[in-house]
Structure 1
Amino acid sequence: MESFRQVLRQLGFIEGRNLGIELRYARNGLQQLPELAAELVRMKVDVLTTFGDLAPKIIAQTTGTIPIVAISDDIVGAGLVASLSRPEANMTGLTLMSPELSAKRLEVLKEMVPGMLRVAALWDPTTGASQVALTERAARSLDLKLKILEVRRQEDVAGDFRAARDDRADAINVFSSPFLASLFREIIVFSAEYKLPAIYQWKEHVEAGGLVSFGPSLAAMFRQTATIVVKILRGARPADLPVEQPIKFELAVNARTAHALGLAIPPSVLVRADDVME
Protein backbone atom coordinates (compact mmCIF):
# COMPACT_ATOMS: atom_id res chain seq x y z
CA MET A 1 0.00 0.00 0.00
CA GLU A 2 2.88 2.39 0.61
CA SER A 3 4.02 1.88 -3.00
CA PHE A 4 0.44 2.58 -4.10
CA ARG A 5 0.19 5.76 -1.99
CA GLN A 6 3.62 6.97 -3.14
CA VAL A 7 2.63 6.98 -6.82
CA LEU A 8 -0.70 8.65 -6.02
CA ARG A 9 1.18 11.41 -4.16
CA GLN A 10 3.64 11.85 -7.05
CA LEU A 11 0.71 12.26 -9.43
CA GLY A 12 -1.03 14.85 -7.26
CA PHE A 13 -3.47 12.78 -5.20
CA ILE A 14 -2.62 13.16 -1.52
CA GLU A 15 -4.49 11.25 1.17
CA GLY A 16 -6.25 13.60 3.57
CA ARG A 17 -6.07 16.52 1.14
CA ASN A 18 -7.81 15.58 -2.12
CA LEU A 19 -8.03 11.82 -1.71
CA GLY A 20 -9.57 9.34 0.72
CA ILE A 21 -8.63 5.64 0.79
CA GLU A 22 -11.06 3.17 2.35
CA LEU A 23 -9.29 -0.13 3.11
CA ARG A 24 -11.23 -3.34 3.70
CA TYR A 25 -9.79 -6.76 4.57
CA ALA A 26 -11.60 -10.11 4.50
CA ARG A 27 -10.22 -11.05 7.90
CA ASN A 28 -12.91 -13.66 8.51
CA GLY A 29 -12.37 -15.48 5.21
CA LEU A 30 -13.46 -15.29 1.60
CA GLN A 31 -17.15 -15.50 2.58
CA GLN A 32 -16.82 -11.90 3.83
CA LEU A 33 -16.05 -10.50 0.37
CA PRO A 34 -19.67 -9.86 -0.78
CA GLU A 35 -20.39 -7.91 2.42
CA LEU A 36 -17.26 -5.76 2.00
CA ALA A 37 -17.96 -5.13 -1.69
CA ALA A 38 -21.52 -4.03 -0.92
CA GLU A 39 -20.31 -1.71 1.82
CA LEU A 40 -17.88 0.09 -0.50
CA VAL A 41 -20.47 0.35 -3.27
CA ARG A 42 -22.94 1.93 -0.82
CA MET A 43 -20.27 4.52 0.02
CA LYS A 44 -20.26 5.52 -3.69
CA VAL A 45 -16.48 5.50 -3.97
CA ASP A 46 -15.00 6.78 -7.25
CA VAL A 47 -12.79 3.74 -7.95
CA LEU A 48 -12.64 0.22 -6.51
CA THR A 49 -9.23 -1.50 -6.43
CA THR A 50 -8.91 -5.16 -5.60
CA PHE A 51 -6.63 -8.20 -5.83
CA GLY A 52 -7.00 -11.72 -7.25
CA ASP A 53 -9.71 -13.33 -9.37
CA LEU A 54 -12.50 -13.92 -6.84
CA ALA A 55 -12.73 -10.44 -5.27
CA PRO A 56 -12.98 -8.60 -8.64
CA LYS A 57 -15.66 -11.07 -9.75
CA ILE A 58 -17.72 -10.41 -6.61
CA ILE A 59 -17.30 -6.64 -6.93
CA ALA A 60 -18.31 -6.76 -10.62
CA GLN A 61 -21.49 -8.58 -9.56
CA THR A 62 -22.14 -5.82 -7.02
CA THR A 63 -21.75 -2.80 -9.32
CA GLY A 64 -21.87 -2.29 -13.06
CA THR A 65 -21.07 1.42 -12.90
CA ILE A 66 -18.23 2.15 -10.43
CA PRO A 67 -14.83 1.71 -12.16
CA ILE A 68 -12.90 -1.37 -10.95
CA VAL A 69 -9.11 -1.71 -11.17
CA ALA A 70 -8.08 -5.31 -10.52
CA ILE A 71 -4.68 -6.91 -9.98
CA SER A 72 -5.79 -10.30 -11.26
CA ASP A 73 -4.03 -13.65 -11.50
CA ASP A 74 -5.63 -14.39 -14.88
CA ILE A 75 -8.01 -11.59 -15.80
CA VAL A 76 -9.16 -13.01 -19.16
CA GLY A 77 -9.19 -16.66 -18.06
CA ALA A 78 -11.29 -15.74 -15.03
CA GLY A 79 -13.84 -14.08 -17.31
CA LEU A 80 -13.35 -10.67 -15.71
CA VAL A 81 -12.75 -8.81 -18.99
CA ALA A 82 -13.45 -9.57 -22.63
CA SER A 83 -9.82 -9.16 -23.74
CA LEU A 84 -6.60 -7.46 -22.66
CA SER A 85 -6.81 -4.79 -25.38
CA ARG A 86 -10.55 -4.12 -25.02
CA PRO A 87 -11.66 -4.91 -21.47
CA GLU A 88 -15.18 -3.47 -21.98
CA ALA A 89 -17.64 -2.87 -19.11
CA ASN A 90 -16.35 -1.16 -15.94
CA MET A 91 -13.16 -3.15 -15.20
CA THR A 92 -9.51 -2.92 -16.21
CA GLY A 93 -6.19 -3.33 -14.39
CA LEU A 94 -3.27 -5.74 -14.39
CA THR A 95 -2.98 -9.44 -15.12
CA LEU A 96 -0.18 -11.26 -13.28
CA MET A 97 0.06 -14.03 -15.92
CA SER A 98 -0.18 -16.54 -13.08
CA PRO A 99 -0.93 -19.66 -15.19
CA GLU A 100 2.18 -19.10 -17.32
CA LEU A 101 4.32 -18.27 -14.28
CA SER A 102 3.09 -21.26 -12.25
CA ALA A 103 4.24 -23.48 -15.11
CA LYS A 104 7.56 -21.62 -15.35
CA ARG A 105 8.18 -22.19 -11.62
CA LEU A 106 8.34 -25.93 -12.28
CA GLU A 107 11.43 -25.34 -14.41
CA VAL A 108 13.06 -23.33 -11.62
CA LEU A 109 12.21 -26.05 -9.08
CA LYS A 110 13.72 -28.72 -11.31
CA GLU A 111 16.97 -26.75 -11.41
CA MET A 112 16.95 -26.23 -7.64
CA VAL A 113 16.12 -29.83 -6.63
CA PRO A 114 18.43 -32.46 -8.22
CA GLY A 115 16.64 -35.60 -9.35
CA MET A 116 13.18 -34.14 -8.78
CA LEU A 117 10.49 -36.51 -10.10
CA ARG A 118 7.32 -35.65 -8.15
CA VAL A 119 5.85 -32.23 -7.35
CA ALA A 120 2.82 -31.27 -5.30
CA ALA A 121 1.02 -28.00 -6.11
CA LEU A 122 -1.02 -26.01 -3.59
CA TRP A 123 -4.05 -24.64 -5.43
CA ASP A 124 -6.78 -22.21 -4.39
CA PRO A 125 -9.80 -23.38 -6.44
CA THR A 126 -11.33 -19.88 -6.46
CA THR A 127 -8.66 -18.91 -9.02
CA GLY A 128 -10.09 -21.32 -11.59
CA ALA A 129 -8.43 -24.15 -13.48
CA SER A 130 -6.02 -22.30 -15.78
CA GLN A 131 -3.00 -22.59 -13.45
CA VAL A 132 -3.72 -26.31 -13.09
CA ALA A 133 -4.00 -26.87 -16.85
CA LEU A 134 -0.81 -25.03 -17.83
CA THR A 135 1.23 -26.51 -14.98
CA GLU A 136 0.06 -30.03 -15.82
CA ARG A 137 1.18 -29.45 -19.40
CA ALA A 138 4.55 -28.16 -18.20
CA ALA A 139 4.94 -31.15 -15.87
CA ARG A 140 4.42 -33.56 -18.76
CA SER A 141 7.02 -31.75 -20.86
CA LEU A 142 9.50 -31.93 -17.95
CA ASP A 143 8.68 -35.60 -17.27
CA LEU A 144 7.39 -34.79 -13.79
CA LYS A 145 4.49 -36.29 -11.86
CA LEU A 146 2.25 -33.51 -10.53
CA LYS A 147 -0.26 -33.81 -7.68
CA ILE A 148 -2.75 -30.96 -7.22
CA LEU A 149 -3.74 -30.28 -3.60
CA GLU A 150 -6.68 -27.95 -2.92
CA VAL A 151 -6.48 -25.30 -0.19
CA ARG A 152 -9.92 -23.98 0.67
CA ARG A 153 -9.25 -23.12 4.33
CA GLN A 154 -6.19 -22.30 6.39
CA GLU A 155 -6.61 -25.65 8.15
CA ASP A 156 -6.07 -27.51 4.85
CA VAL A 157 -2.37 -26.64 4.66
CA ALA A 158 -1.24 -29.19 7.27
CA GLY A 159 -3.17 -32.02 5.63
CA ASP A 160 -1.90 -31.09 2.18
CA PHE A 161 1.71 -31.26 3.32
CA ARG A 162 1.05 -34.71 4.82
CA ALA A 163 -0.51 -35.75 1.52
CA ALA A 164 2.52 -34.43 -0.37
CA ARG A 165 4.83 -36.41 1.91
CA ASP A 166 2.73 -39.58 1.54
CA ASP A 167 2.83 -39.15 -2.25
CA ARG A 168 6.66 -38.92 -2.02
CA ALA A 169 6.71 -35.41 -3.47
CA ASP A 170 10.17 -33.91 -3.90
CA ALA A 171 9.01 -30.28 -3.84
CA ILE A 172 6.04 -27.91 -3.58
CA ASN A 173 4.80 -25.39 -6.15
CA VAL A 174 2.67 -22.75 -4.41
CA PHE A 175 0.19 -21.49 -7.00
CA SER A 176 -0.71 -17.82 -7.18
CA SER A 177 -3.67 -16.43 -5.24
CA PRO A 178 -4.18 -13.76 -2.59
CA PHE A 179 -5.52 -16.44 -0.22
CA LEU A 180 -2.46 -18.69 -0.60
CA ALA A 181 -0.18 -15.67 -0.32
CA SER A 182 -1.82 -14.85 3.02
CA LEU A 183 -0.86 -18.34 4.27
CA PHE A 184 2.85 -17.98 3.50
CA ARG A 185 3.94 -18.28 7.14
CA GLU A 186 2.19 -21.64 7.57
CA ILE A 187 3.53 -22.89 4.24
CA ILE A 188 7.10 -21.90 5.11
CA VAL A 189 6.86 -23.65 8.51
CA PHE A 190 5.50 -26.90 7.02
CA SER A 191 8.02 -26.76 4.17
CA ALA A 192 10.82 -26.71 6.76
CA GLU A 193 9.18 -29.39 8.92
CA TYR A 194 8.68 -31.83 6.04
CA LYS A 195 11.96 -30.89 4.31
CA LEU A 196 10.04 -30.06 1.13
CA PRO A 197 11.57 -27.28 -1.01
CA ALA A 198 8.87 -24.83 -2.11
CA ILE A 199 8.67 -22.10 -4.72
CA TYR A 200 6.53 -18.98 -4.25
CA GLN A 201 5.10 -16.09 -6.24
CA TRP A 202 6.50 -13.15 -4.28
CA LYS A 203 10.04 -12.24 -3.20
CA GLU A 204 8.65 -11.21 0.19
CA HIS A 205 8.02 -14.88 0.95
CA VAL A 206 11.67 -15.69 0.34
CA GLU A 207 12.63 -12.82 2.63
CA ALA A 208 10.42 -14.50 5.27
CA GLY A 209 12.27 -17.82 4.94
CA GLY A 210 10.90 -19.45 1.79
CA LEU A 211 13.39 -21.16 -0.54
CA VAL A 212 12.83 -19.53 -3.93
CA SER A 213 10.38 -17.27 -5.75
CA PHE A 214 9.78 -16.27 -9.34
CA GLY A 215 7.33 -13.59 -10.39
CA PRO A 216 6.74 -9.86 -10.70
CA SER A 217 7.52 -7.35 -7.97
CA LEU A 218 4.57 -6.90 -5.62
CA ALA A 219 5.49 -3.25 -5.04
CA ALA A 220 5.76 -2.67 -8.80
CA MET A 221 2.29 -4.16 -9.31
CA PHE A 222 0.80 -1.70 -6.84
CA ARG A 223 2.71 1.19 -8.46
CA GLN A 224 1.32 0.23 -11.88
CA THR A 225 -2.15 -0.05 -10.40
CA ALA A 226 -1.90 3.43 -8.91
CA THR A 227 -1.15 4.94 -12.33
CA ILE A 228 -4.28 3.28 -13.74
CA VAL A 229 -6.36 4.55 -10.81
CA VAL A 230 -5.13 8.12 -11.46
CA LYS A 231 -6.14 7.89 -15.13
CA ILE A 232 -9.66 6.96 -14.04
CA LEU A 233 -9.78 9.70 -11.39
CA ARG A 234 -8.88 12.12 -14.18
CA GLY A 235 -11.78 10.96 -16.32
CA ALA A 236 -10.69 7.88 -18.29
CA ARG A 237 -13.16 5.01 -18.69
CA PRO A 238 -12.00 1.48 -17.71
CA ALA A 239 -13.28 0.14 -21.04
CA ASP A 240 -10.81 2.42 -22.85
CA LEU A 241 -7.76 1.36 -20.78
CA PRO A 242 -6.08 -1.87 -21.98
CA VAL A 243 -5.19 -4.36 -19.27
CA GLU A 244 -1.50 -4.11 -18.42
CA GLN A 245 1.01 -6.90 -17.73
CA PRO A 246 4.16 -7.08 -15.60
CA ILE A 247 7.22 -5.72 -17.37
CA LYS A 248 9.82 -7.54 -15.24
CA PHE A 249 10.05 -10.82 -13.35
CA GLU A 250 12.32 -11.44 -10.36
CA LEU A 251 14.10 -14.61 -9.27
CA ALA A 252 14.98 -14.64 -5.55
CA VAL A 253 16.67 -17.38 -3.52
CA ASN A 254 17.22 -17.78 0.23
CA ALA A 255 20.69 -19.31 0.69
CA ARG A 256 20.12 -20.08 4.38
CA THR A 257 16.93 -22.01 3.61
CA ALA A 258 18.69 -23.89 0.80
CA HIS A 259 21.43 -24.92 3.25
CA ALA A 260 18.85 -26.06 5.81
CA LEU A 261 17.20 -28.22 3.14
CA GLY A 262 20.57 -29.67 2.08
CA LEU A 263 20.45 -27.99 -1.33
CA ALA A 264 23.28 -26.33 -3.21
CA ILE A 265 22.10 -23.38 -5.31
CA PRO A 266 23.01 -24.29 -8.90
CA PRO A 267 25.25 -21.84 -10.82
CA SER A 268 22.51 -21.56 -13.47
CA VAL A 269 20.17 -20.17 -10.81
CA LEU A 270 22.79 -17.99 -9.12
CA VAL A 271 23.71 -16.25 -12.35
CA ARG A 272 20.05 -15.39 -13.08
CA ALA A 273 18.99 -14.51 -9.54
CA ASP A 274 18.01 -10.92 -8.89
CA ASP A 275 18.42 -11.45 -5.16
CA VAL A 276 20.29 -14.09 -3.11
CA MET A 277 19.48 -13.69 0.56
CA GLU A 278 21.96 -14.85 3.17
Structure 2
Amino acid sequence: MTSRTTNGNYRAYQGPARHQGAAPNLLHVPDARLVLIASLIPDIFTSKRILDIGCNTGVVSTQLAIDFNAASVHGVDIDSSLIDKAEYYYLHRSSRVLPATAETAKVPDYFPLSAVLDAGVRAKHAKDDNVFFVAEDWVTSSDHTETAGPFDTILALSLVKWLHLKHGDDGLRNFFDKCARTLAAGGHLVIEPQPWVSYEKAIAQMKAPQYQESFKSLKLRPDDFPRVLKEVGFDLVASSTALARDIFVYKKA
Protein backbone atom coordinates (compact mmCIF):
# COMPACT_ATOMS: atom_id res chain seq x y z
CA MET A 1 0.00 0.00 0.00
CA THR A 2 1.31 3.46 -0.85
CA SER A 3 0.51 6.85 0.63
CA ARG A 4 0.20 10.06 -1.34
CA THR A 5 1.85 13.38 -0.50
CA THR A 6 0.10 16.74 -0.79
CA ASN A 7 1.72 17.23 -4.21
CA GLY A 8 0.23 14.08 -5.67
CA ASN A 9 3.34 11.90 -5.68
CA TYR A 10 3.53 8.64 -3.78
CA ARG A 11 5.68 7.62 -0.86
CA ALA A 12 6.86 3.98 -0.76
CA TYR A 13 6.63 3.91 -4.57
CA GLN A 14 6.70 0.31 -5.80
CA GLY A 15 8.66 0.98 -8.98
CA PRO A 16 8.54 -1.86 -11.49
CA ALA A 17 6.19 -3.92 -9.33
CA ARG A 18 3.11 -2.18 -10.71
CA HIS A 19 4.23 -2.67 -14.29
CA GLN A 20 5.33 -6.28 -14.52
CA GLY A 21 4.24 -8.18 -11.44
CA ALA A 22 7.54 -8.08 -9.56
CA ALA A 23 7.44 -8.16 -5.78
CA PRO A 24 7.61 -4.60 -4.35
CA ASN A 25 10.95 -5.28 -2.64
CA LEU A 26 12.69 -6.35 -5.85
CA LEU A 27 13.64 -2.82 -6.80
CA HIS A 28 16.77 -4.02 -8.63
CA VAL A 29 14.52 -5.58 -11.29
CA PRO A 30 14.82 -3.22 -14.30
CA ASP A 31 11.77 -1.00 -14.61
CA ALA A 32 9.70 -2.24 -17.55
CA ARG A 33 9.33 1.30 -18.85
CA LEU A 34 13.09 1.77 -19.06
CA VAL A 35 13.49 -1.55 -20.85
CA LEU A 36 10.79 -0.53 -23.33
CA ILE A 37 12.21 2.95 -23.91
CA ALA A 38 15.68 1.54 -24.54
CA SER A 39 14.19 -0.85 -27.09
CA LEU A 40 12.49 2.04 -28.89
CA ILE A 41 15.60 4.28 -28.97
CA PRO A 42 18.62 2.04 -28.31
CA ASP A 43 21.08 4.86 -27.52
CA ILE A 44 18.77 6.98 -25.38
CA PHE A 45 20.40 6.17 -22.00
CA THR A 46 23.91 4.80 -22.56
CA SER A 47 26.60 7.42 -21.89
CA LYS A 48 23.93 10.14 -21.77
CA ARG A 49 23.31 13.02 -19.35
CA ILE A 50 19.83 12.37 -17.95
CA LEU A 51 17.33 14.41 -15.94
CA ASP A 52 14.67 12.35 -14.12
CA ILE A 53 11.88 14.75 -13.15
CA GLY A 54 9.61 13.46 -10.39
CA CYS A 55 12.23 10.91 -9.37
CA ASN A 56 10.36 9.91 -6.19
CA THR A 57 12.47 7.43 -4.19
CA GLY A 58 15.20 7.28 -6.82
CA VAL A 59 14.67 3.78 -8.17
CA VAL A 60 14.53 4.82 -11.83
CA SER A 61 17.42 7.30 -11.46
CA THR A 62 19.58 4.65 -9.83
CA GLN A 63 18.74 2.04 -12.46
CA LEU A 64 19.59 4.48 -15.23
CA ALA A 65 23.10 4.84 -13.82
CA ILE A 66 23.77 1.27 -12.72
CA ASP A 67 21.80 -0.87 -15.19
CA PHE A 68 21.57 1.38 -18.24
CA ASN A 69 25.05 2.97 -18.02
CA ALA A 70 24.09 6.63 -18.15
CA ALA A 71 26.98 9.10 -17.98
CA SER A 72 25.18 11.06 -15.27
CA VAL A 73 21.71 11.21 -13.76
CA HIS A 74 20.10 14.10 -11.93
CA GLY A 75 16.90 13.21 -10.09
CA VAL A 76 14.57 15.98 -8.98
CA ASP A 77 11.43 15.78 -6.86
CA ILE A 78 9.32 18.39 -5.11
CA ASP A 79 9.24 16.32 -1.89
CA SER A 80 12.46 16.59 0.13
CA SER A 81 11.60 13.48 2.17
CA LEU A 82 11.51 11.45 -1.05
CA ILE A 83 14.87 12.92 -2.06
CA ASP A 84 16.33 11.71 1.26
CA LYS A 85 15.06 8.21 0.46
CA ALA A 86 16.45 8.46 -3.07
CA GLU A 87 19.91 9.35 -1.76
CA TYR A 88 19.89 6.37 0.57
CA TYR A 89 18.54 3.97 -2.06
CA TYR A 90 21.26 4.97 -4.53
CA LEU A 91 24.02 4.51 -1.96
CA HIS A 92 22.54 1.17 -0.86
CA ARG A 93 22.28 -0.17 -4.42
CA SER A 94 25.65 1.19 -5.53
CA SER A 95 27.28 -0.43 -2.49
CA ARG A 96 26.60 -3.78 -4.14
CA VAL A 97 28.32 -2.89 -7.43
CA LEU A 98 31.72 -4.39 -8.28
CA PRO A 99 33.53 -1.44 -9.89
CA ALA A 100 34.94 -1.66 -13.39
CA THR A 101 38.64 -2.18 -13.95
CA ALA A 102 40.86 -1.74 -16.97
CA GLU A 103 40.07 -5.31 -17.97
CA THR A 104 36.49 -5.84 -16.77
CA ALA A 105 33.17 -4.01 -16.78
CA LYS A 106 31.30 -3.17 -13.59
CA VAL A 107 29.03 -5.86 -12.19
CA PRO A 108 25.72 -4.67 -10.65
CA ASP A 109 24.50 -6.48 -7.54
CA TYR A 110 27.78 -8.38 -7.25
CA PHE A 111 27.93 -8.10 -3.47
CA PRO A 112 25.03 -9.74 -1.57
CA LEU A 113 22.68 -7.75 0.63
CA SER A 114 24.24 -9.46 3.64
CA ALA A 115 27.57 -7.81 2.80
CA VAL A 116 25.97 -4.38 2.86
CA LEU A 117 24.23 -5.18 6.14
CA ASP A 118 27.56 -6.27 7.62
CA ALA A 119 29.77 -3.50 6.24
CA GLY A 120 27.20 -0.72 5.97
CA VAL A 121 26.27 1.57 3.09
CA ARG A 122 29.20 3.30 1.46
CA ALA A 123 29.79 7.02 1.77
CA LYS A 124 29.11 9.25 -1.21
CA HIS A 125 32.12 10.64 -3.05
CA ALA A 126 31.28 13.54 -5.33
CA LYS A 127 34.22 12.94 -7.65
CA ASP A 128 33.26 9.30 -8.19
CA ASP A 129 29.47 9.39 -8.22
CA ASN A 130 27.36 10.18 -11.25
CA VAL A 131 23.91 10.29 -9.59
CA PHE A 132 22.68 13.47 -7.91
CA PHE A 133 19.36 14.36 -6.29
CA VAL A 134 17.75 17.77 -5.80
CA ALA A 135 14.54 18.76 -3.99
CA GLU A 136 12.72 21.42 -6.00
CA ASP A 137 9.64 22.18 -8.07
CA TRP A 138 11.47 22.03 -11.39
CA VAL A 139 8.62 23.71 -13.26
CA THR A 140 9.15 27.00 -11.45
CA SER A 141 12.64 26.77 -9.93
CA SER A 142 15.74 28.44 -11.31
CA ASP A 143 17.87 28.02 -8.17
CA HIS A 144 19.78 24.83 -8.93
CA THR A 145 22.49 24.83 -11.55
CA GLU A 146 22.55 21.01 -11.19
CA THR A 147 19.24 20.72 -13.02
CA ALA A 148 19.78 23.52 -15.54
CA GLY A 149 21.29 21.24 -18.18
CA PRO A 150 21.97 20.76 -20.93
CA PHE A 151 20.78 17.15 -20.79
CA ASP A 152 20.60 14.52 -23.50
CA THR A 153 17.46 12.85 -22.14
CA ILE A 154 14.67 14.06 -19.86
CA LEU A 155 12.23 11.60 -18.27
CA ALA A 156 8.79 12.62 -16.97
CA LEU A 157 7.25 9.31 -15.94
CA SER A 158 3.92 9.15 -14.08
CA LEU A 159 4.21 12.91 -13.67
CA VAL A 160 2.45 15.01 -16.29
CA LYS A 161 -0.99 14.80 -14.64
CA TRP A 162 0.33 16.13 -11.34
CA LEU A 163 2.20 18.98 -13.01
CA HIS A 164 -0.93 19.84 -14.98
CA LEU A 165 -3.16 19.84 -11.90
CA LYS A 166 -0.70 21.84 -9.81
CA HIS A 167 0.36 24.44 -12.38
CA GLY A 168 -2.57 24.54 -14.82
CA ASP A 169 -2.55 24.75 -18.61
CA ASP A 170 0.00 27.58 -18.72
CA GLY A 171 2.25 25.76 -16.28
CA LEU A 172 2.17 22.63 -18.40
CA ARG A 173 3.05 24.62 -21.53
CA ASN A 174 5.90 26.24 -19.61
CA PHE A 175 7.07 22.80 -18.47
CA PHE A 176 7.25 21.45 -22.01
CA ASP A 177 8.98 24.65 -23.17
CA LYS A 178 11.52 24.42 -20.33
CA CYS A 179 12.23 20.81 -21.27
CA ALA A 180 13.00 21.95 -24.82
CA ARG A 181 15.31 24.70 -23.57
CA THR A 182 17.07 22.36 -21.14
CA LEU A 183 17.77 19.60 -23.68
CA ALA A 184 20.82 19.57 -25.89
CA ALA A 185 20.19 19.69 -29.64
CA GLY A 186 18.71 16.37 -30.72
CA GLY A 187 17.89 15.42 -27.12
CA HIS A 188 14.90 13.29 -26.13
CA LEU A 189 11.93 13.91 -23.85
CA VAL A 190 10.09 10.81 -22.61
CA ILE A 191 6.60 11.21 -21.15
CA GLU A 192 4.06 8.76 -19.75
CA PRO A 193 0.86 10.88 -19.73
CA GLN A 194 -2.06 9.74 -17.66
CA PRO A 195 -5.51 9.59 -19.35
CA TRP A 196 -8.18 12.17 -18.51
CA VAL A 197 -10.15 9.67 -16.44
CA SER A 198 -7.10 9.48 -14.17
CA TYR A 199 -7.41 13.23 -13.54
CA GLU A 200 -11.02 12.73 -12.49
CA LYS A 201 -10.04 9.99 -10.07
CA ALA A 202 -7.18 12.08 -8.69
CA ILE A 203 -9.42 14.84 -7.40
CA ALA A 204 -11.81 12.44 -5.70
CA GLN A 205 -12.25 12.48 -1.95
CA MET A 206 -9.20 11.16 -0.04
CA LYS A 207 -6.93 11.28 -3.08
CA ALA A 208 -6.04 14.82 -4.16
CA PRO A 209 -9.04 17.05 -3.32
CA GLN A 210 -6.71 20.07 -3.13
CA TYR A 211 -6.69 20.12 -6.93
CA GLN A 212 -10.46 20.22 -7.43
CA GLU A 213 -10.53 23.95 -8.24
CA SER A 214 -7.56 23.86 -10.59
CA PHE A 215 -9.06 20.82 -12.32
CA LYS A 216 -12.13 22.86 -13.24
CA SER A 217 -9.97 25.45 -15.03
CA LEU A 218 -8.12 23.00 -17.28
CA LYS A 219 -8.81 23.31 -20.99
CA LEU A 220 -5.99 21.13 -22.31
CA ARG A 221 -6.52 17.39 -22.50
CA PRO A 222 -3.93 14.63 -22.97
CA ASP A 223 -4.92 14.46 -26.64
CA ASP A 224 -3.73 18.09 -26.95
CA PHE A 225 -0.22 17.37 -25.65
CA PRO A 226 1.27 16.41 -29.06
CA ARG A 227 0.18 19.76 -30.49
CA VAL A 228 1.63 21.71 -27.56
CA LEU A 229 4.89 19.76 -27.73
CA LYS A 230 5.12 20.46 -31.46
CA GLU A 231 4.63 24.17 -30.79
CA VAL A 232 7.61 24.30 -28.40
CA GLY A 233 9.93 22.41 -30.76
CA PHE A 234 9.45 18.66 -30.32
CA ASP A 235 8.86 15.93 -32.89
CA LEU A 236 7.35 12.57 -31.92
CA VAL A 237 9.87 9.86 -32.85
CA ALA A 238 8.58 6.75 -31.02
CA SER A 239 5.66 5.51 -28.96
CA SER A 240 4.34 2.30 -27.45
CA THR A 241 1.09 0.96 -26.03
CA ALA A 242 2.71 -2.20 -24.66
CA LEU A 243 2.45 -1.26 -20.97
CA ALA A 244 -0.35 -0.10 -18.71
CA ARG A 245 0.24 3.48 -19.84
CA ASP A 246 1.37 4.67 -23.25
CA ILE A 247 4.97 5.85 -23.60
CA PHE A 248 5.91 8.69 -25.96
CA VAL A 249 9.42 9.72 -26.99
CA TYR A 250 9.90 13.20 -28.45
CA LYS A 251 13.05 14.63 -30.00
CA LYS A 252 14.13 18.24 -29.84
CA ALA A 253 14.07 19.56 -33.38
* Same fold? TM cut 0.5: no
* TM-score normalised over the length of structure 2: 0.38
Give 1 or 2: higher helix fraction: 1
Q: Over alpha carbons, which structure has the higher Rg?
A: 1
* TM-score normalised over the length of structure 1: 0.36
Q: Greater relative contact order: 1 or 2 (C-alpha under 8 angstroms, separation 6 or more)?
A: 1
